[in-house]
Amino acid sequence: MVKDVHKELSIFSEYLKQMGLKITNQRLLVAESIFRHPSHFTVDSLAESLKDRRDEISRATIYRIVSILVESGQLTEHNFAQGVRYYEHIPRHEHHDHIVCQDCGRIEEFLVPEIEKVQQQIAEQHGFALEAHALNLYGRCAELKTKGSCTRRLEKTPQ
């Protein structure tokens, strides 16, 4: 995994050079934190994980760095209809789809080859050459359904 992080940092550094942007410690620190992140994240959750560096890295700086990573193609931005943008480091995963809990915000990834085939067939039937797609399903997680509340949501609720 460390090798992949170094590779991704190298790709990011090269992109910064090509765009005429400086390679700063802040950019590398934020990028490394993202490349080590195991799943979807928000800028707020990223800022929280970097809180020991808060004096060094402002939230605005984090937003700018995330924006550069999206432009570079190393991050994908998702809007899961929750009013919050989520981000995902692309090289870590093969293509996949998402199912999102509309209550607690839990995001699960899935891949069903039959769904992929059907999407390809639909594109072809309509005369399209499919280049990309995103499938997001929305529902309520099992914990909410069985217990009537979700511990993840309770953790997010201010006390």
pLDDT for 17: 96
pLDDT for 92: 54
Could you tell me which residues are beta bridge partners of residue 99? 108, 137
pLDDT in tens, 4-31: 889 999 999 999 999 999 999 999 999 9
The pTM assigned to this predicted structure is 0.69
pLDDT for 51: 81
Find out whether 97 and 136 touch, Cβ atoms under 8 Å: yes
Residue 121: strand, helix, or coil: helix
